[in-house]
Amino acid sequence: MSGGGANAAAAAEVGGGGGKEGRAGGELRNAQRTFDLIRRHFSPRLALTGSFAGRGAVEVGAEGCRVTLSDGRSVLDFGSYAVPLLGHRHPAVVAGVRRALDTLPTATRSLANPVTARAAATLVEYFESALPKVYFGLNGADAVEVAVKLARLASGRGRILAVRGGFHGKSTGALALTHSPLFRAGLRGSVIDVAHADPEDTGAVERAAVSGELAAVVFEPVQGENGVVPLPVAVLRRWCADARRYGAFVIADEIQCGLRRCGERSLALAEGLPVDAVLVGKPLGGGVVPLSAVVCSEELYAPLEADPFLHSATFGGHPLACAALPPALAAIEQLAAHGEVLSGALSEGLTRLRGRHADAVREVRGRGLLWGLDYATPHLAGEVVLGLADAGLLVSPCLSRPTTVRLLPSLACGPPEVAEALAALEHATATAAARCAER
């Protein structure tokens, strides 16, 4: 069965049998049942959010850049937390995972696993052997936790310098680095000594390092959750030089912006920054399975080389996830030039949109396939998101910067999909601006 046929079959199965009226009734009952379960077992607010995004329907299938909903609609995916860079269910990635599923879908943890070993070698080669060591996790916070732990152990120091506006995860250790108080409300103190630098402060690392307590500097080259804010390369270059001079490690968190999302395999390495680690995730599993990684220097990895059980996780380096990595990276590279074309079309279209709606859209920021539209007020941005949901375009709001609507298109898109998204944004912006002006 083809991918489109499989999605249609999934929607039909979810909706129930019978004629058109029977199917529609079944679809509605299924969606209501799903939201009831979410309210009961998760959170009523989560159910409300999902209901708004799907306009009362739930997701039942996906292929390429589109997601199929339980009411039969197909929506264009420019969100999904930046995971499906290749789109949904890329055939080469699905095939690689299926082969692992049919042979050895999990690991004994006692015996050596060739799938995981090959994945590590592939990832190191992908970054041109600049960083020879790898640790595999399941999500971005895993990678952040391990990188910070290694930096503190390898340096024998306790302090970490992160950046204002940065987002590095919500687990307890990673949360200490995440800047927004929205995510840390009610959680005072931390086992990690963290300070946050102003992204424009060239001398921040030197001042933090002069005491001899600085273990590492951690930054996102492009801050995604903060509204798609690129950090000044000149400042990052100075920070790296100062960190190296004072014996501190440098960690580039590229979990959202790396792997060609912003055009380069690694933004830090492409700029020639002397980093000790690049953290990757989200699309690393090809949009099919969860996978993240710390790719780092021998010096940073030294504690794990001395004791490989110093940090371990039952599902770290899971064979199903690692089986996705080689075909995912190969597909990303095959489509890299296509990504540049899409990026140019988005840049031009969004710039024109801002020119037509200068009172509503205050700024457009972005690079590659990561863009943010900064609206005049949070209310206006929220109205735009609701309008996009009606139009069938999924986007990612920024929780810590509620004026920004984030766009995360996939490499599975083509010029028609970019034009469709820009038209939806035009209509939603104009409608939202008119509504807000009436109030």
**In a structure prediction context, what are the per-residue pLDDT tens digits for the chain, which is 439 residues long?**
344 444 544 444 444 445 565 666 677 788 999 999 999 999 999 999 999 899 999 999 999 999 999 999 999 999 999 999 999 999 999 999 999 999 999 999 999 999 999 999 999 999 999 999 999 999 999 999 999 999 999 999 999 999 999 876 656 666 566 666 665 554 455 568 899 999 999 999 999 999 999 999 999 999 999 999 999 999 999 999 999 999 999 999 999 999 999 999 999 999 999 999 999 999 999 999 999 999 999 999 999 999 999 988 999 999 999 999 999 999 999 999 999 999 999 999 999 999 999 999 999 999 999 999 999 999 999 999 999 999 999 999 898 899 999 999 999 999 999 999 999 999 999 999 998 887 7
CB atoms within 10 A of CB 173: 19
Contacts 24+ apart (CB under 8 A), 208-214: 208/159, 208/161, 209/242, 209/243, 209/245, 209/246, 209/247, 209/248, 210/246, 212/157, 212/246, 213/157, 213/158, 213/159, 214/157, 214/159, 214/160, 214/161, 214/243, 214/246, 214/248
What are the structure tokens assigned to 425, written together?
């944004």
CATH code given to domain 91-334: 3.40.640.10
3-class secondary structure, 289 = coil
Sequence letter at residue 241: A
User: Which residue is it, tokens 């590659």?
Assistant: 368
Distance CA 8, CA 379 (A): 36
Domain boundaries, the chain: 1-54, 91-334, 335-438
E strands in 174-221: 193-197, 214-219
Q: How far is CA 297 from CA 131, 147, 255, in A?
A: 5, 11, 18
The domain defined by 335-438 folds into Aspartate Aminotransferase, domain 1 (3.90.1150)
Distance CA 221, CA 236 (A): 8
Q: How far is CA 237 from CA 136, 271, 315, 334, 363, in A?
A: 27, 9, 36, 30, 26
User: Which residue is it, tokens 């970054």?
Assistant: 127
Helical H segments across 72-217, by residue range:
91-103, 114-126, 140-155, 172-177, 204-209
Strand ranges across the sheet with 66-69: 59-63, 66-69, 74-77, 393-394
